[in-house]
Amino acid sequence: MEENIEPQKQAKSIINDIKSFFKDLLNIERDTDKSGTVEEIKSNISMQGHNAWILIFSIVIASIGLNVSSTAVVIGAMLISPLMGPILGVGLSIATNDIDTLRKSLVNLGFMVLLSLLTSTLFFSISLFNEATPEILARTAPDVRDVLIAFAGGLALIIAISRPSPQTNTVAGVAIATALMPPLCTAGFGLGTGNFDYFFGAMFLFTINTIFIALSTFLVVKYLKFPIVKYLDSKRKKAISRIAMIVATVILGFSIYSFYTLFQENTYNKEARAFIQELRDEGVSIIGDDDSRNINYKEDYITFYILGNAIPNNQIAAWEKDLKKYSKLQNTKLNVKQEDDTKIQEQVKNLTDLYAQNQKIISSRDESIEAKNARINELEKQIQKYVLDQIPFAQICEEVKINYSGVEKISFAQQLNSDFNKIDTLKVFNVKWFDSIPNKTISTEEIKLEKWLKSRLILDTLVLKKY
């Protein structure tokens, strides 16, 4: 009996050790700097003075990045933006019943949004910059994944800030991942161009990100049991606690509702795209590649255009029946727009017949055609040889300048060589290196440059000389 008890004790000990290991591994309460965290967050709430100017300049940079569809520029703007401060202040103040900090955070958050919208609206009001680029279009509607990114990013941010030593990499990464600035710039684009669908969609995306970052801050601060702000007046304390609870409940309720509605919309769009793809797999010629424009979740209908013979009503009725196979498309209406291409097919047939007649006429003059074809082939070979011999010298110079900083000057010439049996053309590049470059380095760089030129120009041979 005792022999059976011993293995049980060992197994229980192993399980306890594993639990203890994971508890220590995932413990965020240890080394939490509560007073330092509160001070850090409060110090970054204000949008006045230098923070306001930093915000303006970062908005301009982000707007330019969106306008030229440069992800790198947008990321740079997000790194220098002070947008996160008031949002963290909202989450912290609600969790600690700090009504003064909550008021300050909301005022600065409103000022931040107003200043950002004003700056981006003025920028995109200039006709040169009011093109809807892919980077802008990507921020016109929220997605359920944006919610998860904002929530996870907010959790990572508040945990990183609460450590005794600053976690700068984490803070920078969260600033990029949560992407608060691009939606504000897109909302400014909507105002600047008069496209209010873009404005409301982008502002909804910004609101979702803001709420879930504040919510994650609230939850972590509550979990880490930050000290509650105490007031001498008990009535004031109760009133403040009640206000904080109401605000927290509203934020939590809106967060859950937003997540649910976005999840429902994503699921609907996914099933609608699957239905459209199913029709395409069956050979239906649906025009257009952007299926998202054919799907209307709010009004619950799918629209697509078909090119070809007219689709009979019984076929459309069968498609509507097929919609019932998808759980989210039970009541979806199908709006089929048809483009009859019968006339186009007739024109194609006429052109085909005319081509066949011409071929018969051509085939009756074989000798003349063969001579002309031979001449054409010869000319094509000459043209091809001429094209192949051309070197994009200006472009090569730019690339050499970027990749080989030691090159001072480069020239190119084609050299004709003959062994009295045939004539060959040889590509010759003359390179002058800066006098400050050591000979050993030049020898190494010349080998690399020669290999690169051969690969770049698709040449088997070339000559690389020094001035």
pLDDT of residue 292: 58
Domain contains 13: no
Q: How much of the chain exceeds pLDDT 70, in percent?
A: 78
Is 286 or 453 the better-scoring residue by pLDDT? Answer: 453
The pLDDT-based confidence of 1 (bands split at 50, 70, 90) is very low
Is the same domain home to 305 and 171? no
Q: Which of 78-87, 287-296, 431-440 has the lowest mean pLDDT?
A: 287-296
Q: Is the pLDDT score of 47 beyond 80?
A: no
Is the same domain home to 98 and 208? yes
Mean pLDDT of 335-355: 71
Select from 119, 177, 186, 185 the least CA-distant residue to 148: 177
Q: Is the pLDDT score of 290 beyond 60?
A: no
Domain end residue (candidates: 386, 411, 438)? 386
Q: How far apart are CA 174 and CA 153, in angstroms?
A: 5
Domain housing 364:
349-386
Q: Is the pLDDT score of 67 beyond 90?
A: no
Q: Is the pLDDT score of 118 beyond 90?
A: yes
pLDDT of residue 432: 92
Is the same domain home to 404 and 285? no
Q: How much of the chain exceeds pLDDT 90, in percent?
A: 4
The pLDDT-based confidence of 37 (bands split at 50, 70, 90) is confident
Is the same domain home to 324 and 399? no
The CB density around residue 412, as the number of other CB atoms within 10 Å, is: 14
Q: Is the pLDDT score of 293 beyond 70?
A: no
Q: How far apart are CA 177 and CA 213, in angstroms?
A: 12
Is the same domain home to 202 and 303? no
pLDDT of residue 21: 66
Alpha helices per DSSP H over 194-290:
196-223, 234-281
Domain contains 321: yes
Residues 6+ apart with CB under 8 A from 32: 162, 163, 224
Domain end residue (candidates: 314, 342, 370)? 342
Q: Is the pLDDT score of 128 beyond 90?
A: no
Domain contains 361: yes
Q: Is the pLDDT score of 301 beyond 90?
A: no
pLDDT of residue 3: 52
Please, are residues 280 and 286 in contact by the beta-carbon 8 Å criterion?
yes
Q: Is the pLDDT score of 166 beyond 80?
A: no
Domain contains 264: no
Mean pLDDT of 445-467: 87
Q: How far apart are CA 147 and CA 342, in angstroms?
A: 48
Is the same domain home to 429 and 330? no
Domain contains 447: yes
**What are the backbone angles phi and psi of residue 418, rounded to the nearest 5°?**
-145, 140
Domain contains 434: yes
Residue/partner pairs of 30-36 with CB below 8 Å, 24 or more apart = 31/163, 31/164, 32/162, 32/163, 32/224, 33/162, 33/163, 33/164, 34/162, 34/224, 34/226, 34/227, 36/164
pLDDT of residue 359: 73
Q: Note the pLDDT tens digit of each residue in 368-414.
A: 767 777 777 777 776 655 545 567 888 888 888 888 988 999 998 88
The pLDDT-based confidence of 322 (bands split at 50, 70, 90) is confident
Q: Specify the pTM.
A: 0.56
**What are the backbone angles phi and psi of residue 180, rounded to the nearest 5°?**
-75, -35
Is the same domain home to 394 and 277? no
Q: Which of 257-261, 436-440, 450-454 has the lowest mean pLDDT?
A: 257-261
Is the same domain home to 289 and 428? no
Q: How far apart are CA 193 and CA 67, in angstroms?
A: 13
Is the same domain home to 301 and 412? no
Is the same domain home to 78 and 153? yes
- Average pLDDT value for the chain: 78
Q: How is residue 165 annotated by DSSP? A: S
Number of domains in the chain: 4
Domain contains 21: no
Is the same domain home to 308 and 448? no
Is 458 or 294 the better-scoring residue by pLDDT? Answer: 458
Q: Is 312 helix (H, G, I), strand (E, B) or coil?
A: coil
The CATH number of residue 125's host domain is 1.20.1080
Is the same domain home to 69 and 191? yes
Domain contains 260: no
Domain end residue (candidates: 229, 260, 288)? 229
The CATH number of residue 455's host domain is 3.30.70
Q: Is 309 helix (H, G, I), strand (E, B) or coil?
A: coil
